[in-house]
A and B are shown apart, each in its own frame.
Chain A
């Protein structure tokens, strides 16, 4: 990559600049700051779109009474059952049960506290889900450039 080709395409990086290695006219390497690159912005955005899409699906399942609110908070924290089991210290089997609404609704506050502390929310918040995913890619993108 040549020095003048170091991309400066703002995106999800929230103004953070990173180092790119590039060669100058006589071929020697130097460290250059870059605010981002369209290929990275596009794929980073794609990763978040996948997460938001997943959240929409989970919300539908919850409103249909098939999943508990825990499923939403798990997905929002990019976790699956094995990872949530590791973080919470509960067995995978128990975490899976907690994803059922009828089991979740009867959980005692000790169990709820573990999840709420992990997700850094209150027990009250843990028991609620929003109508729409409360995770917006627009909030992360401070550059205003749309791809």
Chain B
């Protein structure tokens, strides 16, 4: 069984998977549009969650939420399942494939043999589409890669039941039925409002723009608290989370800027264009931050003043993002279609 599925390479796994699944059902949306409608943009610094023994810094929402939110806002019926038994999890995928349904799956990347070895960490928030099975091999559309790939059933099974933080527990998701018509401007508006809400008004200080300030206040303490070596490891980890495969660059800020650009046309709201440019500028500042942090990691700077400089840049980013999302919120409220959304 092999579903005729058009594979397109994108920057980010989950929004790419969602865009490719939508295309399969006749809705040709860009990755950025899906990312924006699904409110993928986020920030959190959560030192109590560890990835590779280092604190989690995330620039996107939790795995699964882009697909869930985007499909809900577009009126698409989807189904999501988790499994206790790997055997049942595999049988269900095979059953769905036999019925002609491409299946989205959350996996860990450590066990996926087609990943370059250097990328194989215990990161469990990866997404891909299973499009077929030939013998003991699954055919996979992984939006991070240029071409569709193949993966032995045993490897995929292990990846679907990877353990540790964000364990996927065999999670699969797929589209059950498409709506007769899609209220796109409304979906876009809802998506933007949601991002503004999480970035500006989260109740916890570790998330949203307050999370960026929180990180700024924390990193200045690292040299004294952790020592030089651990500080460099912590800094490197932030850069990896920000720029690692799947972000499109600049911690998803460029994808979001691309979304705002598209949204300006689709909702006929010219006020979004300058906001898209500001979002691009913020992405550029994140890139600058990453470059400086990476140079510190290579030992090319005096640690304490360099970290203080990074903290100051983070504070500036927090301020810039705060004002961006405030202006975005008012731009969208003013032009809300019939006051709904």
Contact = CB atoms under 8 A, between A and B. Distances in A.
A31 B243 CA distance: 16
Contact of B9 (A15, A19, A47): A19
A78 B52 contact: yes
B250 interface: yes
B297 A43 contact: yes
Contacts of B117: 14, 139-140
Interface residues of A, number: 42
B198 to A, nearest CB: 21
B240 A43 contact: yes
A77 B164 CA distance: 13
Contact of A13 (B116, B233, B237): B116
A111 interface: no
Given A21-B248, A21-B255, A23-B280, A46 B11 contact: no
Interface in A38-70: 38-40, 42-44, 46-48, 50
A27 B293 CA distance: 28
Contacts of A103: none
Nearest to B294: A39
Contacts, number: 123
B291 interface: yes
A118 to B, nearest CB: 9
A50 B122 CA distance: 15
B280 A1 contact: yes
Interface of B: 9-11, 31-32, 52-53, 110, 116-119, 121-122, 144-146, 163-164, 232-233, 236-237, 239-240, 243-246, 248-250, 254-255, 257-258, 261-262, 277, 280, 283-284, 287, 290-291, 293-295, 297-298
Given A37-B243, A43-B236, A1 B284 contact: yes
6 A-B pairs with least C-beta separation: A12-B118, A21-B254, A29-B258, A39-B294, A14-B116, A86-B163
B163 A80 contact: no
Given A86-B163, A147-B298, A28 B261 contact: yes
A39 B144 CA distance: 19
A39 B53 CA distance: 21
A70 B261 CA distance: 53
Contacts of B277: 27
Contact of B11 (A18, A28, A50): A18
Given A16-B245, A21-B255, 14 more contacts: A1-B254, A12-B119, A20-B11, A22-B254, A31-B31, A39-B287, A40-B240, A40-B244, A42-B297, A77-B110, A83-B164, A86-B163, A87-B163, A140-B118
B254 A20 contact: yes
